[in-house]
Protein backbone atom coordinates (compact mmCIF):
# COMPACT_ATOMS: atom_id res chain seq x y z
CA UNK A 1 0.00 0.00 0.00
CA UNK A 2 1.38 3.40 -0.95
CA UNK A 3 2.21 5.83 1.82
CA UNK A 4 0.10 8.98 2.09
CA UNK A 5 1.88 12.19 3.00
CA UNK A 6 -0.05 15.36 3.78
CA UNK A 7 1.89 18.36 2.47
CA UNK A 8 1.14 21.66 0.71
CA UNK A 9 0.79 20.48 -2.91
CA UNK A 10 0.78 24.02 -4.25
CA UNK A 11 4.38 24.44 -3.07
CA UNK A 12 5.89 20.91 -3.17
CA UNK A 13 5.95 17.77 -5.31
CA UNK A 14 6.47 14.29 -3.85
CA UNK A 15 9.50 12.85 -5.67
CA UNK A 16 10.55 9.90 -3.52
CA UNK A 17 10.36 7.86 -0.34
CA UNK A 18 13.18 7.09 2.09
CA UNK A 19 13.62 3.30 2.20
CA UNK A 20 16.50 3.05 4.69
CA UNK A 21 19.64 4.67 6.02
CA UNK A 22 22.90 3.98 4.20
CA UNK A 23 26.27 3.78 5.88
CA UNK A 24 27.35 5.52 9.06
CA UNK A 25 27.60 9.15 7.94
CA UNK A 26 23.92 10.03 7.58
CA UNK A 27 23.18 9.05 4.00
CA UNK A 28 19.69 7.85 3.07
CA UNK A 29 18.39 5.59 0.30
CA UNK A 30 15.49 7.04 -1.66
CA UNK A 31 13.14 5.25 -4.04
CA UNK A 32 12.02 7.78 -6.69
CA UNK A 33 8.23 8.03 -6.99
CA UNK A 34 8.28 8.97 -10.68
CA UNK A 35 10.83 6.30 -11.52
CA UNK A 36 13.32 8.84 -12.86
CA UNK A 37 16.63 8.76 -11.03
CA UNK A 38 18.04 11.45 -13.35
CA UNK A 39 15.45 13.94 -12.13
CA UNK A 40 17.37 14.32 -8.88
CA UNK A 41 20.11 16.24 -10.71
CA UNK A 42 17.64 19.15 -10.85
CA UNK A 43 17.23 19.40 -7.09
CA UNK A 44 19.51 21.34 -4.80
CA UNK A 45 17.21 21.13 -1.77
CA UNK A 46 14.49 18.78 -0.57
CA UNK A 47 12.17 18.57 2.42
CA UNK A 48 11.16 15.40 4.22
CA UNK A 49 7.56 14.74 5.29
CA UNK A 50 6.17 12.12 7.68
CA UNK A 51 2.85 10.33 7.23
CA UNK A 52 1.37 12.51 9.99
CA UNK A 53 2.28 15.69 8.08
CA UNK A 54 5.33 16.75 10.10
CA UNK A 55 7.87 18.30 7.72
CA UNK A 56 11.47 19.37 7.84
CA UNK A 57 12.63 22.69 6.48
CA UNK A 58 14.29 22.53 3.07
CA UNK A 59 17.59 20.65 3.41
CA UNK A 60 20.51 21.19 1.05
CA UNK A 61 21.58 18.13 -0.94
CA UNK A 62 25.29 17.76 -0.26
CA UNK A 63 25.65 14.95 -2.84
CA UNK A 64 23.66 12.21 -4.51
CA UNK A 65 24.41 9.13 -6.55
CA UNK A 66 22.34 6.39 -8.13
CA UNK A 67 22.42 2.86 -6.79
CA UNK A 68 20.32 0.45 -8.80
CA UNK A 69 16.77 1.82 -8.92
CA UNK A 70 17.35 4.00 -5.87
CA UNK A 71 19.31 7.12 -5.01
CA UNK A 72 21.67 7.65 -2.13
CA UNK A 73 21.34 11.17 -0.76
CA UNK A 74 23.51 13.02 1.70
CA UNK A 75 21.51 15.88 3.16
CA UNK A 76 22.89 18.79 5.14
CA UNK A 77 22.31 18.42 8.92
CA UNK A 78 21.82 14.62 8.83
CA UNK A 79 25.23 13.43 9.93
CA UNK A 80 24.85 10.01 11.55
CA UNK A 81 23.21 6.64 10.98
CA UNK A 82 20.87 7.19 13.93
CA UNK A 83 19.68 10.52 12.46
CA UNK A 84 19.24 8.90 9.04
CA UNK A 85 17.27 6.01 10.61
CA UNK A 86 14.68 8.55 11.83
CA UNK A 87 13.87 9.46 8.20
CA UNK A 88 12.94 5.91 7.06
CA UNK A 89 9.48 5.83 5.36
CA UNK A 90 9.36 9.62 5.07
CA UNK A 91 8.42 11.23 1.78
CA UNK A 92 10.95 13.34 -0.13
CA UNK A 93 9.58 16.63 -1.48
CA UNK A 94 11.07 19.09 -3.92
CA UNK A 95 9.92 22.63 -4.50
CA UNK A 96 7.30 22.49 -7.27
CA UNK A 97 9.20 24.87 -9.57
CA UNK A 98 12.31 22.61 -9.41
CA UNK A 99 10.42 19.48 -10.48
CA UNK A 100 10.88 18.41 -14.11
CA UNK A 101 7.48 16.70 -13.93
CA UNK A 102 5.83 19.93 -12.77
CA UNK A 103 7.61 21.91 -15.46
CA UNK A 104 6.46 19.39 -18.07
CA UNK A 105 2.87 19.55 -16.78
CA UNK A 106 2.90 23.34 -16.69
CA UNK A 107 4.38 23.59 -20.16
CA UNK A 108 2.54 20.58 -21.61
CA UNK A 109 0.27 22.71 -23.76
CA UNK A 110 3.31 24.53 -25.14
CA UNK A 111 4.62 21.20 -26.48
CA UNK A 112 1.51 20.54 -28.57
CA UNK A 113 2.25 21.21 -32.23
CA UNK A 114 6.02 20.73 -31.96
CA UNK A 115 7.76 18.38 -34.36
CA UNK A 116 9.44 15.36 -32.76
CA UNK A 117 12.66 14.07 -34.33
CA UNK A 118 15.27 11.51 -33.29
CA UNK A 119 18.95 12.34 -32.81
CA UNK A 120 19.45 10.77 -36.26
CA UNK A 121 17.08 13.48 -37.60
CA UNK A 122 14.30 10.97 -38.37
CA UNK A 123 10.92 12.73 -38.17
CA UNK A 124 8.66 10.89 -35.70
CA UNK A 125 5.65 13.20 -36.02
CA UNK A 126 3.89 16.16 -34.39
CA UNK A 127 2.90 16.36 -30.70
CA UNK A 128 -0.89 16.07 -30.68
CA UNK A 129 -1.48 15.86 -26.93
CA UNK A 130 0.09 15.10 -23.54
CA UNK A 131 -1.21 12.29 -21.31
CA UNK A 132 -0.66 12.56 -17.54
CA UNK A 133 -2.28 9.28 -16.52
CA UNK A 134 0.76 7.11 -15.75
CA UNK A 135 4.00 7.27 -13.79
CA UNK A 136 5.22 10.05 -16.07
CA UNK A 137 3.68 12.18 -18.82
CA UNK A 138 3.49 10.74 -22.35
CA UNK A 139 3.79 12.67 -25.57
CA UNK A 140 1.09 11.55 -27.99
CA UNK A 141 2.76 12.05 -31.34
CA UNK A 142 0.81 11.77 -34.60
CA UNK A 143 2.35 10.82 -37.91
CA UNK A 144 -0.50 10.66 -40.39
CA UNK A 145 -3.00 8.21 -38.90
CA UNK A 146 -0.41 6.64 -36.54
CA UNK A 147 -0.14 7.61 -32.88
CA UNK A 148 3.18 7.01 -31.14
CA UNK A 149 3.51 7.25 -27.36
CA UNK A 150 6.81 8.68 -26.10
CA UNK A 151 7.64 8.93 -22.38
CA UNK A 152 8.41 12.51 -21.38
CA UNK A 153 11.45 11.73 -19.21
CA UNK A 154 14.93 13.21 -18.90
CA UNK A 155 16.55 10.08 -20.36
CA UNK A 156 14.50 10.36 -23.57
CA UNK A 157 14.42 14.11 -24.31
CA UNK A 158 17.78 15.28 -25.64
CA UNK A 159 16.85 18.83 -26.63
CA UNK A 160 13.83 21.07 -26.83
CA UNK A 161 14.07 23.76 -29.43
CA UNK A 162 11.58 26.44 -30.38
CA UNK A 163 9.85 24.36 -33.02
CA UNK A 164 10.85 20.77 -32.24
CA UNK A 165 11.79 18.20 -29.63
CA UNK A 166 14.82 15.95 -30.17
CA UNK A 167 14.58 12.48 -28.62
CA UNK A 168 16.94 9.54 -28.19
CA UNK A 169 14.61 6.54 -28.04
CA UNK A 170 15.90 3.12 -27.05
CA UNK A 171 15.92 0.53 -29.87
CA UNK A 172 12.42 -0.62 -30.73
CA UNK A 173 10.49 2.01 -28.77
CA UNK A 174 9.04 3.77 -31.79
CA UNK A 175 7.90 0.46 -33.30
CA UNK A 176 6.34 -1.15 -30.19
CA UNK A 177 4.89 2.04 -28.77
CA UNK A 178 2.48 2.75 -31.61
CA UNK A 179 -1.03 3.13 -30.26
- Residues 66, 78: one domain? yes
**pLDDT score at 19:** 96
Question: How would you class 27 by CB atoms within 10 Å of its CB: exposed for 0-12, middle for 13-18, buried for 19 or more?
Answer: buried
> How many angstroms separate the CA atoms of 46 and 142, rounded?
37
54, 74, 103 - which closes a domain: 103
- Each residue's pLDDT, cut to its tens digit, for the chain (179 residues) gives 345 888 888 888 888 899 999 999 999 999 987 556 767 777 889 999 999 999 999 999 999 998 888 999 999 999 999 999 999 999 999 887 776 554 444 445 567 888 999 988 899 999 888 776 666 778 889 998 888 888 887 778 777 777 888 898 888 888 876 55
Residues contacting residue 66 through CB under 8 Å, at least 6 positions apart = 37, 72
- Residues 21, 97: one domain? yes
**pLDDT score at 107:** 44
Q: The whole model's pTM is what?
A: 0.57
- Residues 88, 136: one domain? no
Range of the domain at 117: 107-176
Q: What is the CATH number of the domain that holds 85?
A: 2.40.30.60
Q: How many other CB atoms are there within 10 angstroms of residue 162's CB atom? A: 5
**pLDDT score at 12:** 86
- Residues 33, 65: one domain? yes
Amino acid sequence: MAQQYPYPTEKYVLVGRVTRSHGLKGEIKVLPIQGSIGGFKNYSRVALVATDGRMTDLLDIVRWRPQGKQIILKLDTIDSKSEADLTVAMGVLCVRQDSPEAIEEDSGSSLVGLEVVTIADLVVGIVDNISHTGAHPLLIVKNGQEEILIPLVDEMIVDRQESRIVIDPPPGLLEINKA
